[in-house]
Amino acid sequence: EAQVTQNPRYLITVTGKKLTVTCSQNMNHEYMSWYRQDPGLGLRQIYYSMNVEVTDKGDVPEGYKVSRKEKRNFPLILESPSPNQTSLYFCASSYTTGHYTFGSGTRLTVV
Amino acid sequence: EDQVTQSPEALRLQEGESSSLNCSYTVSGLRGLFWYRQDPGKGPEFLFTLYSAGEEKEKERLKATLTKKESFLHITAPKPEDSATYLCAVQPSTSGTYKYIFGTGTRLKVLA
């Protein structure tokens, strides 16, 4: 089954404790992206990747890092999480001009 | 500035009561317009892609249309299972990075 898999689904952590949210896709898509979704603000792009070793900032990149060492994986790293990064996170992938396939989401709470 | 605006923010319909959701966009060129459905706590699910003015796509009770400045998602005789948030996204053609711009969505509630 074609899908984007994110882990974990839920995560509660403390301020400053580094964490990684994993994302993997099995569709051989070139393009992958991370979004955060907050009430009233919609989906905002954090980082995206056009292909292996090619990444760039989206609209809200501060406090996040990404890497794309393999085509299928695109992890999101929070080096020092803060409470304002509490949000619902989605990984998505697509062919470069196609629609997104989204993961099921990661609900992150930073206390 | 590229922008996508969806209206209304929320809509309550009786089962069988047809209506339309609006997505207006301001971009210097359009590569594609996408509609997604999102259920609470889940990732958005793709519905339609529209590429040029006059284009229409249909799926069950949903029909999406596109003009030069806006798109409509028409819902005919909705059922309670159509309750969800509907998101519109635009891919500007002038962006070399295949960027997507999302609207904030319309929350639809269909009452039995």
Kindly list the residues of chain A whose beta carbon comes within 8 Å of any beta carbon in chain B.
4, 31, 33, 35, 40-45, 48, 50, 56, 88, 90, 92, 96-105, 107
> B95 falls in which pLDDT band (50, 70, 90)?
low
Q: Do B102 and A56 touch (CB under 8 A)?
A: no
SS3 B61: coil
SS3 of chain A: CCCEEEECCEEEECCCCCEEEEEEECCCCCEEEEEEEECCCEEEEEEEEEECCEEEECCCCCCCEECCCCCCECCEEECCCCHHHCEEEEEEEECCCCCCEECCCEEEEEC
| pLDDT at position A2 over 90 | no
Q: Residues of B near A (CB-CB distance < 8 A)?
A: 31-32, 34, 36, 41-46, 49, 87, 89, 91, 97-100, 102-105
Tokens 């590569």 identify what position? B31
**Digit-coded pLDDT (tens) for B36-73:** 999 998 999 999 999 999 999 999 999 999 999 999 99
Q: What is the average pLDDT value for chain A, to the nearest integer?
A: 94
Nearest CA in chain B to A41: B104
Overall average pLDDT of the A7-28 stretch? 97
pLDDT at B96: 60
- The confidence score (pLDDT) of residue B93 equals 82
Per-residue tokens: B44: 């958005």
Q: What residues of B are in contact with residue A88 (Cβ under 8 Å)?
A: 41
Calculate the CA dihedral of residues B30, B31, B35, B38 and round it to 10 degrees: -110
How confident is the model over B5-36, as pLDDT tens digits? 999 999 999 999 999 999 999 988 888 999 99
